[in-house]
Amino acid sequence: MWLEIVLASVLGLVIYWFVSRDKEETLPLEDGWWGPGARPPGGEDESIRHFKVETSDEEIDDLHRRIDKARLTTPLEDSRFHYGFNTSYLKKILSYWRNGFDWRKQVEVLNRYPHFKTKIEGLDIHFIHVKPHELPSGRAAKPLLMVHGWPGSFYEFYNIIPLLTDPKNHGLSDEHVFEVICPSIPGYGFSEASSKKGLNSVATARIFYKLMLRLGFQEFYIQGGDWGSLICTNMAQLVPSHVKGMHLNMALILRNFYTLTLFLGRRFGGLFGYTERDMELLYPVKEKIFYSIIRESGYMHIQSTKPDTVGCALNDSPVGLAAYILEKFSTWTNSEFRDLEDGGLERPPNLLLWGTGYQATAYCISETSVPSRMKVQVPTGFAAFPCELLHIPEKWLKFKYPKLISYSYMARGGHFAALEEPELLARDIIKFVGLLERQ
């Protein structure tokens, strides 16, 4: 027993020495052109244009016809959501979507905030930009870029925006008031998809950095989960002098030794800095990590290798798209929802992706996006939601984000943090900014 402890201690020290050496590195900023054809010789139009979400009777009628012609298979008995979206419950979703959903009201909801578009690197980039109605005397709003992931959209942030732009009237401290910018990733929502191969998270980070400069912000805060967390991380690696601070609710970290520490951590958790809460969220490994990752990552392989194939199916079938997307809003919110007949879904489906025409290129951001091993030299805050797909202990994060100044175990919530628990996430963002600005 004592020999195991000594060997584990020595191994831990060696690993720590190799991975904890900080290097001041940045990613090359470079440039790109993702629009059709060649870059125009005179440069692109850099104007910012107002945009309004609209729909038409023709679009709604077409959707209804497609729903009416849906062909559904019979689910396995007592399968609930263990094999994906249960088609018995899907019938209820489709009935509401066909007969009860108010498209006009949803369009009004989407237009609640100001929408804009602007051309960057050949793509029409969509974003919402919400400023505070009023500010405390002598204060300035802090610019905050919030980036969504897949299968989400800018709509994820609709309920958290008022908590950040008008915190006092929502029961939060107004020590920090934000103006919020939420862009749509190229190929998502109302942002134009790339016409060329190779668009990845680094290119997207550069595009969003240019967006912030175009809006007049030389320094700003950033926040993201899912692909948004990688895009934000890449932005901090590209232009660290422009990012005042970064808040994440998910992190993608590549380190070979994590697998080793997971298996040793069950017996020697203290050696690797695991807290009691870390142990609860990481173990048993077979269930919390191994099975979870296998069950929930099948989509990623096809989307990162054959996006055009699955894109054809989903762009043609609103029923297939609803099942494909809503399944993630079920099990990624809480893995235990797969045991329920309704998958834990008590909200109507988000129809934004179908209404805009789902583009296969929306998947392509994962084709060449690989988390960089480069460390991030930007002050960072992290919110660890208990039902996230993979729990990341604070010690793991500090290897990649050595300037981690805030790490919070959240009381509840899963992958879609801003949508599920807007107040919890808003409070943690405000806490992080407060800690950073008091340093």
- Catalytic residue set: 226, 363, 415
Q: Which of 125, 228, 115, 143 is CA-nearest to residue 184?
A: 125
Please list the residues that pair with 49 across neighbouring strands.
117
Q: Token pair for residue 163?
A: 């908590």
Query: In residues, how long is the chain?
Result: 439
Q: Is 388 exposed, middle or buried (0-12, 13-18, 19+ CB in 10 A)?
A: buried
Q: Which residues contact 414 (CB under 8 A, 6 or more apart)?
A: 332, 333, 334, 385, 386, 387, 388, 420
319 Cα distance to chain centroid: 24
Helices 87-99 and 57-68, interaxial angle, to 10°? 150
294-315 residues labelled b (16+ CB within 10 A) or e (exposed): eebeebeeebeeebeebbeebb
Cα angle, residue 286 at apex, residues 285 and 287 outer, rounded to 5° = 90
Cα angle, residue 204 at apex, residues 203 and 207 outer, rounded to 5° = 90
What whole-number distance in Å separates Cα of residue 216 and Cα of residue 184? 19
Q: Token pair for residue 358?
A: 């789902």
What whole-number distance in Å separates Cα of residue 180 and Cα of residue 194? 25
Look up residue 340 and give its amino acid: L
Residue whose tokens read 């340093």: 439
Q: 251, 372 in Cβ contact below 8 A?
A: no
Q: 361, 187 in Cβ contact below 8 A?
A: yes
- In degrees to the nearest 10, what's the CA dihedral of 254, 259, 265, 267? -170
